[in-house]
Chains A and B, each alone.
Chain A
Amino acid sequence: MDILHNLAFGFEHALTWQNLLFCAIGCTVGTLVGLLPGLGPLATISILLPLTYSIPTTGALIMLAGIYYGAQYGDSVSAITMKIPHASSIVACIDGYQMTLKGKTGLALFTAGVSSFIGGTVAIVVLAFFAPLLGEVAFLFGPADYCALMLVGFVCVSFVTTGSLLQGLAMCLIGVLLGQVGTDVNSGVQRYTMDFPFLAEGIGLVSIALGCFGIAEITKNLDNKDERTPFNGKINLIPTWREFKRIIPSALRGSAVGSFLGILPGGGPVIAQFAAYAVDKKLSKYKDEIGTGAIEGVAGQAAADEAAARTSFIPLMSIGIPENAVMALMMAAFIIKGIQPGPNMIAGHPELFWGLVASMWVGNCFLLLLNVPLVRYWLSVFKIPYAVLFPSILFFCCIGTFSVNNNLDDIFITAVFGFTGYVFLRLDLDPAPLMLGFILGPMLEENFRRALLISRGSFDIFVTRPISATLLGLIGIFVLWQLTAFILQARNAAGAHRMPEVKAAPLEG
């Protein structure tokens, strides 16, 4: 009953006119920007972050959360209609686009909308139950455990986002090193500032985010010269009852998978979508149709996507450790607003926490109301030529960077990171782990130094504490598994090279 009481308290805060408005604005703007080619949730949040500076804290966070799941939804719309694979909605391209080819765009969009709603609702229940519980567990964590948890996050995010542990870890570590720039809190020494006064407080998060995600993405799109064909098909949204019945079981399965995977470190929408899709392929009544444009192929992954997007708030709000790059950016937004996410947040700012949880459901309704009937108007965004679009995105990057400190020098830093981000892209290095490393870097150092101070310089503390020993053990198993997989693969490849030679020899004889 406590939970119902808390939720009612949350709705009291979420349903004020002001917060309703912020939620609606966030969802709408997020969807619009998320629809644009090449701009996934990370880029959308970084570009729109400055909009929230002049808004009261609860409203700002509600709006940011709205932007996040709005962008997530907009992303899946562009995947279904145009097959533009963003980072966050690759799976929607498979069956969703097949449905578009069959002329069932409307049904696919309706399925995605309704499934997202179901997924989001399930996830909010999970969030309301588990976040306070996990928050109590978080009080058991010592500095060594926090270090281990962050390392688990690094390893998981590296593997999930880039598929290559080595490259992802490299990006995480580069992020950690970038986080070292500025004044060291313990000794007051200025590190890597090159005597520039504006670097004394560290590199601005917005500069890195906008450089790596905004500017680098724009330039990549400019380099890919392929023309986008605007979508002009007709849309018939309302499904038959038989079709509607097929959505529900798949969406519920997806919600469960998504809610669970969203909580795990490194988890989040991308991996949840793939898992839900795989589960549907095994369990669905219509599993033979999946891959050729089946409703289940869209419903399961859309539900998992929304569910994971919401439950990934749990580790951030209850332990204070973001588990993926989007949440790292959210954490930065919390801190900009003067809120330290962590076990004390729920007790210290209950109106904020429960208001945010309740607003997620309100946002869910907004998305359903705004998107399902209005989706045909959203699609006209695709008709804006890129020559108009990209100067506008550049403009938002400039204004966004400037308004953090009202300082034009920051724009030069953004330019530097735009170039760095472009080099990363060309070298096929994903900047998402860098973001996480950058935000967790200072926390990692702080906890690492504290742990060693407690143990008087001995590394035993990392293996004698049960929580950190377990977490580090998991990392060890994972790295070993990766190593064996790589060696086996290399051996198989070598074997495959040798095979033709063996075959060729008798022919000569």
Chain B
Amino acid sequence: MNDRNLVRGLFIAAISLVFGIGALRYPIGNFERAGPGLFPLMVSCLLLLIGVVSVVRSRFVERVPLAFNPKNIAIVLASLCGFALVSEHVNMIAGIVFMVFCASFAGTGEYSVVRNLKVAAGLVAVALAFQKLLGFNLPLY
């Protein structure tokens, strides 16, 4: 299963199935008077074809191992969602501080609270400048 070409084909086929089966729920109509489901259904069929061809093709080309490192992407996504949640329930300055501290866990460098504080302060200043000078509507405080 650890074959990038094969996984790619399966992934493409899976997306086409999600959209294709979804399209069947909408009226299809006919070519002269197309319903909302017709076009997505056609595109999904084409995509499914490409997915199947990719899967078949992966049997004939050399295997490439799939490299997937869940740690960094998880941290980045957590800091994004955290930013949105904290901004919604507290305010955006707290959101920025949370994001900087959370995101710094990613990467390889050593964790430095002082540096994080400096970065957060700088970004809060930028956000304030956006709000005051460029007229952005940011719920900073």
Chain A residues in 8 Å Cβ range of B134: 51, 54
Binding site for A on B (CB under 8 A): 4, 7-8, 11-12, 15-16, 19, 22-23, 26-27, 30-37, 39-40, 43-44, 46-47, 50-51, 53-54, 57, 60, 64, 66-69, 72-73, 76-77, 79-81, 83-84, 87-88, 95-96, 99-100, 103-104, 106-109, 112, 115-116, 119, 122-123, 126-127, 130, 134-138
Docked CA distance A186–B115 (Å): 54
Which A residues touch B40, using CB under 8 A? 177, 180, 191-192
Across-interface contacts of A392 in B (CB, < 8 A)? 119, 122-123
Interface residues of A in 313-370 (CB under 8 A from B): none
In the complex, whether A422 has a CB less than 8 A from a CB of chain B is yes
In the complex, which of the residues A176, A408, A414 has the most CB atoms of chain B within 10 Å of its own CB atom? A408
Name A177's closest neighbour in chain B (CB-CB): B19
Interface check A283, CB cutoff 8 A: no
Q: Are A457 and B32 in contact (CB under 8 A)?
A: yes
Q: Is B39 touching A449 in the complex (CB atoms < 8 A)?
A: yes
Given the complex of chains A and B, what is the CA–CA distance between A459 and B73 in angstroms? 46
Q: Which residue of A lies closest to B78 (CB)?
A: A415
Q: Is the interface of B mostly helix, strand, loop or mixed?
A: helix
Q: Is the Cβ of A449 less than 8 Å from the Cβ of B103?
A: no
Taking a contact as CB atoms under 8 Å apart, the answer to whether B60 and A490 are in contact is yes
Report whether B81 and A411 are in contact in the complex, using a CB–CB cutoff of 8 Å.
yes
12 further A-B pairs in the complex, CB-CB below 8 A; given A191-B26, A394-B80, A414-B80? A177-B47, A184-B36, A191-B22, A223-B72, A391-B103, A391-B116, A395-B96, A412-B81, A452-B32, A457-B30, A457-B32, A490-B60
Please tell me if the beta carbons of A386 and B107 are within 8 angstroms of each other in the complex: yes
Q: Point out the residues of chain A lying under 8 angstroms from B77, CB to CB.
A: 215, 415, 418-419
Question: Which residue, of A223, A395, A453, has the highest number of chain B Cβ atoms within 10 A?
Answer: A395
* CB pair B32 A453 closer than 8 Å: yes
**A445 vs B135: C-alpha distance when bound (angstroms):** 37
* Interface SS, A side: helix
Report the Cα distance A394→B98, complex, angstroms.
12
Contacts of A385 in B (CB 8 A): 109
Shortest Cβ distance from residue B123 to the other chain A in the assembled complex, whole angstroms: 5
- B43 with A173: CB separation less than 8 A: yes
From residue A471, how far is it (CB to closest CB) to chain B in Å?
A: 18
Whether a CB of chain B sits under 8 angstroms from the CB of A101 is no
Q: Which of chain A's residues have a CB closer than 8 A to the CB of B35?
A: 187
Q: Which residues of B contact A189 (CB under 8 A)?
A: 26-27, 36
Contact call A187/B36, Cβ cutoff below 8 A: yes
- A408-446 CB contact bits vs B (8 Å, 1 = yes)? 110110110011001100111100000000000000010
Name the distance in Å between A220's Cβ and chain B's nearest Cβ: 9
Query: Are A390 and B103 interface neighbours, CB within 8 A?
Result: yes
> Are B50 and A177 closer than 8 Å at their CB atoms?
no
Min C-beta distance of B92 to chain A, whole Å = 8
Bound-state Cα–Cα, A414 to B69, Å:
20
What is the bound-complex CA distance between A411 and B96, given in angstroms?
13
Q: Does A57 contact B (CB under 8 A)?
A: no
| A-B complex: 7 closest residue pairs judged by Cβ atoms | A457-B32, A457-B31, A411-B84, A184-B36, A189-B36, A173-B47, A222-B72
Q: In the assembled complex, how far is the CB of residue B63 from the closest CB belonging to chain A, in whole angstroms?
A: 13
**8 Å CB contact of A402 from B30, B34, B122, B138:** B138
Given A187-B35, A222-B72, does the pair A394, B99 have CB atoms closer than 8 Å? yes
Residues of B within 8 Å of A394, CB to CB, are 76, 79-80, 99, 103
Query: Across the interface, do B22 and A387 meet the contact criterion of CB distance under 8 Å?
Result: no
Q: How far is the CA of A222 from the CA of B96 in the complex (A)?
A: 20
Most buried by B among A177, A186, A412: A177
Check if B72 sits within 8 Å of A448, measured CB to CB: no
For the complex, what is the distance from the CA of A387 to the CA of B115, rounded to whole Å?
A: 9
CB pair B80 A408 closer than 8 Å: no
Which residues of chain B come closer than 8 Å to A411, judged between CB atoms? 80-81, 83-84
Q: Which residues of A contact B106 (CB under 8 A)?
A: 219, 222, 390
Minimum distance in angstroms from B88 CB to a CB of chain A: 5
**Cross-chain pairs A/B with CB under 8 angstroms, 12 sampled:** A54-B135, A180-B43, A186-B36, A219-B72, A386-B109, A391-B99, A409-B84, A411-B83, A411-B84, A412-B84, A427-B7, A457-B33
Q: A176 to B26, Cβ gap below 8 A?
A: no
Given the contacts A166-B54, A403-B137, A419-B77, A192 and B123 also touching, CB distance less than 8 Å: no
- Nearest chain-B residue to A403 (Cβ)? B136
Q: In this complex, what residue of B is CB-closest to A180?
A: B40
Could you tell me if A395 and B99 are in contact, using CB atoms closer than 8 angstroms? yes
Point out the residues of chain B lying under 8 angstroms from A453, CB to CB: 32-34
Evaluate contact between B84 and A391: CB separation under 8 angstroms.
Answer: no
Chain A residues with Cβ below 8 Å from B8 are 167, 427-429
In whole angstroms, how far apart are the Cα atoms of A241 and B81 in the complex?
A: 57
A411 to B30, CA, bound (A): 38
A391 and B104: CB pair below 8 A? Answer: yes
Interface centre among A225, A406, A422 (most CB of B within 10 A): A422
